[in-house]
A and B are shown apart, each in its own frame.
Chain A
Amino acid sequence: MPIAGRKKHSSKLPVLLVAPALVLLALFTFAPAGYAVYLSLMKLHVTGGLLGTSSTQAFAGLSNYASTFSDPEFWHSLSRMLLIAVIGVPSTVILATTFALCMDANAARLTTVTRLAIFLPYAVPGVIASILWGFLYLPATSPIGGSVINYFGNRAIFFTVANVAVWGVVGFNTVVLYTALRALPRDIRQAAEIDGASEMQIALHVKLPQIAPAIAMISLFSVIGALQLFNEPTALKPLTNAITSTWVPLMRVYSDAFVNNNIYGGAASALTLLVMTVALTVGGGAVTTRLIGRQGK
């Protein structure tokens, strides 16, 4: 086949295959995001009598952003979310690493059953998991001492919410790390065994450094997931007085836009959150890349 013909033939197909995804992305992600940016710069202006029957949209400049930043409740919700992240993310990573290393040990038994059992919570939808845990926590229905321990107290609520999130997500991360462990070359491990290293030493000094990139990756995903915390507090909210409607930033966005009918303020807080999440993702990605660059070749 002539080279020119080959080039023409192969250059159209990738574009054709990617085009649907790009079109959908443009239509359902970029266009609404652009509209949200436009909305965040507008506000409602009421005229026309007592009930404002002729209200219009007026340009508000950056006043929606200003009111988001100056609202102490926004910063409180951010700090609550960060507190849950500080509790939840290390727990997830440490538990996942421990489970994966234990399942990969030579002396491990019943690994298939264990793997399934650890992974099963991930298959439970987040809202249902929260409701189930809610019943486990409520004094009226709790089999785990809910009438003695106040799971919905001011301090305990953070651990309560973090627990539900960690329970759901640890299985997935364990499987990711376990797969990474299974893919490691056997020769280094065998060399260490011949040298007389114990299982613990092999796990900590041989396997762990080699899966450091995978651990960095799941840490990054866990942090991103923690920034998007919404399901668990929203599902637990009807069960307790401890969770308000603006408890974490995403709940505040939802409540602004769909309860208070303030779609302009909701758009502004949503975009603020987006910028913070992207900044954290890019920063975390840079750290991950440096780690991978150091380890893998």
Chain B
Amino acid sequence: MISPLTRRPLSRSGAVAASVLTAAALAVTACSSGSSSSVSASSPSSSAGSSGQVVHLTITDWDNGMPAVVSAWNQSHPDIQVQLIKPAGTGYTLYNKLITDNRAGTNPDISEIEYQALPEMVANKVAISLNKYLPNLSQTYGSAIMEQAQFQGQVYGVPQNICPMVFFYRKDVFAKLHLTAPTTWAQYTADAAAIHKANPKEYLGNFDAADPEWFAGLAQQAGANWWTASGNTWSVAINDAATQKVANYWQGLVSSGVISPEPSWSTQWLTGMNKGNVVGWISAQWAPNQFPTIAPSTAGQWTAVPLPAWTAGDNTVGTWGGEAEIVTASSKYPQQAAEFINWMNDSQLGLNLLIKNVDVFPAATFAQSSPLLQTPPPFMSDQPSYNTLMASVAKGVRGFQIWGPDASVTFSSYSDAFASALQNHTSFTAALGTVQSKTVSDMKNSGFQVAG
């Protein structure tokens, strides 16, 4: 059907033009693939570090409000200039990028890492030990915090904040139904049932199958220790009795229909929070920072109280979130990088800036009584004692003895197992068993010594 093209010999200039074009095309492709989108490749190799010369550092941090902190440092330290990079993804997207870039040596000098990912960063040689540069860190932090950043005598990160779990509820809804804030989990069940009975469209909260750290925090409160280490051997007990108690408790709430099965930050949940179908949130200290994007039209209607306890009067509480700053193995100026994160997380000046701009609650004990903490975060402006509440709740914080070296596998297995348990109405304890066996087999496969 298509008639063959008549062959016409190309003129010489045509051939030359064609080769020039292809060469140009190759060059352009090579250029564009070389200038990578990762800005972090820029600085460390550039300037010399000897005295008198300016040292350039890069830091990856996802918190809003960080530019003010970094520029304050830059103004007072002209010899060490820090550039802030906001990462494209957070959580395990970022951590995997750090692990991959570590092999190429292109990581930024400093990165923000959540506590639960710190062992994995150490295991993948992303974080370096800070004992040489900051020998006195353990004097600043309580032992529960220090445990999160110190392994086998080596400190791998400077803790920044502590995020105890807190219960937020709509005080107008509670007032209308003459309910008081629950102080025990039994009371939480009763309140949830009352709210749902009064209005079948309303829920006191949600079971979050997409945030494993949320569930881990609840397990911490119940006394669980998902990972323990003795010498070089790990023990994994994700489905221990304490965690099963928590799982069964929530299974009861979900099957009776009084708690929404939607994960936090899902579209369904966001709409519910904003429209008043979800009237409570088991969250953590940083929630006021997130509320403006979650439920802006409910500003001023929420109250924060300590998390319900298993026995009345017990103030044990777990954490959800919390970060430390690490110096990466790719850094060419670890001394200066350690100096910067020490200023940011361990000095009154740096912590005041963090409190003011990023709404953190500092992990450093001396900073927890800072006068700046007398004012609440903007979203909780009608609860002036918010930060005082945080200070008292922080006293009862309990964490796992250590986070596992492959926590990412545990967390993604949790999301899958519990999402499918919610979808198919199957047992939460069976889902816990799946998480346990996946974690153990992954650790054994990599070569870690696991007891049992």
What residues of chain A have their CB less than 8 Å away from a CB belonging to chain B? Answer: 1, 6, 9-10, 12-13, 16-17, 19-20, 23-24, 43-47, 49-53, 55, 67, 134-135, 138-141, 154, 238-246, 255, 258-262
The segment out of B187-195, B261-269, B281-289, B372-380 that lies at the interface is: B261-269
Say whether B447 faces chain A, with CB atoms less than 8 Å apart. yes
Contact of A138 with B267 at beta-carbon distance under 8 Å, contacts A23-B26, A51-B122 already known: yes
Inter-chain contact B123/A238, CB cutoff 8 Å: no
Contact of A13 with B419 at beta-carbon distance under 8 Å, contacts A55-B447, A260-B442 already known: no
Further 10 A-B residue pairs, CB within 8 A, beyond A140-B272, A261-B99: A52-B446, A55-B124, A154-B424, A238-B266, A240-B266, A241-B422, A242-B423, A244-B420, A259-B408, A261-B96
> Which residues of B are found within 8 Å of A47, using beta-carbon distances?
447
Inter-chain contact A239/B267, CB cutoff 8 Å: yes
A240 to B420, CA, bound (A): 10
Inter-chain contact B152/A241, CB cutoff 8 Å: no
Chain A: which residue is nearest B7 at the CB level? A10
> Which residues of A are found within 8 Å of B231, using beta-carbon distances?
50
What are 27 A-B pairs with beta-carbon distances under 8 A? A13-B10, A13-B18, A16-B22, A17-B18, A44-B446, A46-B447, A49-B232, A50-B232, A51-B119, A52-B405, A52-B446, A53-B122, A55-B447, A134-B267, A139-B268, A140-B267, A141-B271, A154-B424, A240-B266, A241-B261, A241-B263, A243-B419, A245-B415, A245-B416, A261-B96, A261-B408, A262-B409
Say whether B113 faces chain A, with CB atoms less than 8 Å apart. no
> Which residues of B are found within 8 Å of A262, using beta-carbon distances?
409, 442
Contact of A17 with B412 at beta-carbon distance under 8 Å, contacts A51-B123, A244-B420 already known: no
Contact of A13 with B15 at beta-carbon distance under 8 Å, contacts A241-B209, A259-B96 already known: yes
Q: State how many angstroms separate the Cβ of B396 from the closest Cβ of chain A.
A: 28
A52 to B445, CA, bound (A): 13
A123 to B232, CA, bound (A): 56
Inter-chain contact B268/A140, CB cutoff 8 Å: yes
Q: Which of A1, A24, A44, A50 contacts B151 (CB 8 A)?
A: A50
A55 to B405, CA, bound (A): 12
> Which residues of A are found within 8 Å of B448, using beta-carbon distances?
46, 52
- What is the count of residue pairs linking A and B with beta-carbon distances less than 8 angstroms? 125
Q: State how many angstroms separate the Cβ of B413 from the closest Cβ of chain A.
A: 9
A12 to B18, CA, bound (A): 12
Inter-chain contact B210/A238, CB cutoff 8 Å: yes
> Which residues of B are found within 8 Å of A260, using beta-carbon distances?
406, 408-409, 412, 442
Say whether B19 faces chain A, with CB atoms less than 8 Å apart. yes
Mark each residue of chain B from 143 to 169: 1 if its CB lies under 8 Å from any CB of chain A, else 0: 000000001100000000000000000
Chain A: which residue is nearest B421 at the CB level? A241
> Which residues of A are found within 8 Å of B267, using beta-carbon distances?
134-135, 138, 140-141, 238-239
> Which residues of A are found within 8 Å of B32, using beta-carbon distances?
none
